[in-house]
Amino acid sequence: TFAAPQASGTQHAGIWVGGAGRVAVTPDLALLTLGVEARADTVEQARSNAATAMAAVMAVLTENGIQEEDIRTQYFNIQPEYVWNESINRQEIKGYRVTNTVSVKVRDLESVGTLIDNVANAGGDLVRISNISFTIENPEQYAAQAREAAVQDAMAKAQQFAQLTGVTLDRLVYIAETSASMPVTRGYDTAVMTFAEAAPAPATPVSGGEIDITIRVQAVFSIA
């Protein structure tokens, strides 16, 4: 639904139409969320284990051509883990867990599968990969194409309405972009993926697919 500008006494006069434009684009950027998770009896041991594993992961990212500005710490947490003690009827701390997660931009999509494997090998049992998605780094040019198609679609509909109803299409009195959709495609979307638990296997296959960029407009034309 949408609201067009109100002309005096002719709020619903004219032809009201909606238009949609869609452009299918091959993604050029992969977004990885990965990190390490370590558990130990003490905070220091858990932190040390996580730091060692994360240093190995970061070294792999650098070796695979990931620039420093494309790596961002997303989450760091140290928290106790509890167990219920039946004899005293209360919780007790049994150890500590340290989680360190980063988001990584990968511009060479063909290297994503190999990068995942290398990260898994470097971090061992502590590696966690929680999400892989694909997107467009600069979607503006594709959005402009979709917007042009949406306007043409709206105008074509208005022309058809005019022909079907025997009226003459006059000037455009209102147009607005009502929605823009530029979703990412997801290769994996799981709470936690632990690669070290899997048996040795061929390189991890990853495909970016296509992304649909959709623009919708609403337009109002007067009639003669």
pLDDT in tens, 128-138: 999 999 999 99
DSSP 14-60: SEEEEEEEEEEE---EEEEEEEEEEEESSHHHHHHHHHHHHHHHHHH
pLDDT in tens, 34-69: 999 999 999 999 999 999 999 999 999 999 999 999
pLDDT at 10: 47
> Is residue 3's pLDDT more than 70?
no
Helices 112-123 and 43-63, axial angle in degrees (round to 10): 150
pLDDT at 192: 40
pLDDT at 1: 47
pTM over 0.85: no
Give how far the C-alpha of residue 204 lies from the chain's centroid of Cα atoms, to the nearest Å: 20
- Which residue in the block uniquely carries the two structure tokens 């760091």? 76
pLDDT in tens, 183-224: 655 554 443 444 444 444 566 777 778 889 999 999 999 998
> Is residue 32's pLDDT more than 60?
yes
User: Pick from 103, 139, 91: which is nearest to 31 by CA?
Assistant: 103
Per-residue confidence at 16, pLDDT binned at 50, 70, 90?
Answer: very high
d(CA 87, CA 200): 44
- Which residue in the block uniquely carries the two structure tokens 């620039």? 67
Q: What pairing do the DSSP bridges indicate for beta strands 90-106 and 185-193?
A: unpaired
Tell me the residue ranges of DSSP E strands in 26-152.
29-40, 71-85, 90-106, 127-135
Contact criterion met (CB below 8 Å) for 46 and 143: no
- Per-residue pLDDT, averaged over 68-74, amounts to 96
Query: For residue 4, what are the contacts with CB-CB under 8 A and spacing of at least 6?
Result: 16, 173, 174, 218, 220
Contact criterion met (CB below 8 Å) for 211 and 187: no
Residue 48, phi then psi, degrees to nearest 5: -65, -45
- Per-residue pLDDT, averaged over 75-93, amounts to 93
- What tokens appear for 27 in the block? 């993604």
Give, in order, the Cα–Cα distances in Å from 7 to each of 16, 44, 47, 54, 99: 14, 71, 67, 64, 60
Give, in order, the Cα–Cα distances in Å from 190 to each of 103, 182, 184: 15, 22, 15
pLDDT at 183: 65
pLDDT at 51: 97
pLDDT at 202: 61
d(CA 8, CA 221): 15
